[in-house]
Copies of this chain bind each other. A is one copy, B any other.
Amino acid sequence: MPEFDLIERIRQRAGARDDVVLGIGDDAAVLCVPAGRQLVVAMDTLNAGVHFPHDTAAADIGWKALAVNLSDLAAMGAEPAWCTLSLSLAQADDAWVDGFLDGFLTVAHAHRVSLVGGDTTRGPLSISVTVHGFVDPGRALRRDAALAGDDVWVSGTLGDAAAALRQWHGGGVRDAFLRGRLDRPTPRVALGQALASVAHACIDISDGLLADLAHVCRGSGVGAQVSVDELPLAPALRAAFDGDARRTLQAAGGDDYELCFTAAPDLRGEVERAGLDAATPVTRIGRIVEGEGVQTATADGQAWHAEHAGYQHFA
């Protein structure tokens, strides 16, 4: 399949929005940003064997490549609009590309995102995506806006994806729910937008709750206290892991793509309403304090430490 056929194959399925003046097929896309709104841009790459196991289905790779990018827009409280895709393939394969697009475009259509450009190249399997969205001026949810006294919240459940990866490495029982959480993360786009006028700071959890909350604390010049036994827990994770192994997966596992955010305690009702409106569970897990660093404790008040630090590339 020559490159031009591949691009045409993608173009025919890319969808359209009224604000796309010129989409796939020219040197660049031409787009209209709504008057009075700011542009929000995020870019993330997935490499085979690093960000997903080599045995991952093409549709799951496509899903995840866009979902992790939309998760970044969600963490800013932004409304998604467009994406570009750069796809490096060792060899072109009709069935693989169609499967990849099935997953990618399912996520795109669910969030009304148009694929407007990018490129296809030869190389080791790698997918780079850039996403574009909008926020009202001054409304973006930043990492540096947490205030001492804020509650700390997270969406969804934590540790499921990391648990799936551990099961995959272990070669034993593999739970389908957990694997689905690893392969098909849910970007919390509606929740992020609902929080834009409620929350102070927000980040999406990709490196693990403690590592990502530490980014918020550093950026905001504050500390945090987290109750590790309050972290939201999926039944499948409860069944598969126990004790400190489970706590570590939840607190430091990574690949959750849930939102961690802070809000004033007198807005708890508004936060819970945002969760209901977005059909996304939200759980209060701690609070922001003066000082620095993230302290974790168990339900009985004992200080607790994860078995290992959050995932770092190049570490």
Contact = CB atoms under 8 A, between A and B. Distances in A.
Interface of A: 1-4, 6, 21-22, 25-33, 35, 38-51, 72-73, 75-76, 78, 82, 84-86, 88-89, 91-92, 116-124, 126, 128, 130-133, 135, 140, 142-144, 202-204, 219, 312-315
A27 B89 contact: no
Indicate the member of A25, A117, A135, A313 with the most B CB atoms within 10 Å: A313
A91 B314 contact: yes
A62 B97 CA distance: 29
Given A41-B117, A45-B88, A140-B22, A78 B28 contact: yes
A137 B177 CA distance: 48
B122 A72 contact: no
Nearest to A124: B124
A30 B40 contact: yes
Given A26-B142, A28-B73, A140-B22, A121 B39 contact: no
Contacts of A25: 143, 219
A72 B143 contact: no
Given A2-B314, A43-B130, 6 more contacts: A26-B142, A27-B204, A30-B38, A44-B119, A45-B119, A123-B126
A75 B73 CA distance: 29
Given A45-B119, A121-B47, A33 B33 contact: yes
Contacts of A130: 41, 43, 84, 130
B313 A3 contact: yes
Given A28-B40, A28-B72, A142-B26, A86 B123 contact: no
A41 B26 CA distance: 11
A315 B2 contact: yes
Nearest to A138: B21
Nearest to A123: B47
A84 B43 contact: yes
Given A128-B45, A140-B21, A122 B27 contact: no
Nearest to A68: B119
Given A3-B312, A122-B314, A39 B43 contact: no
Contacts of A72: 27-28
Contacts of A119: 43-45
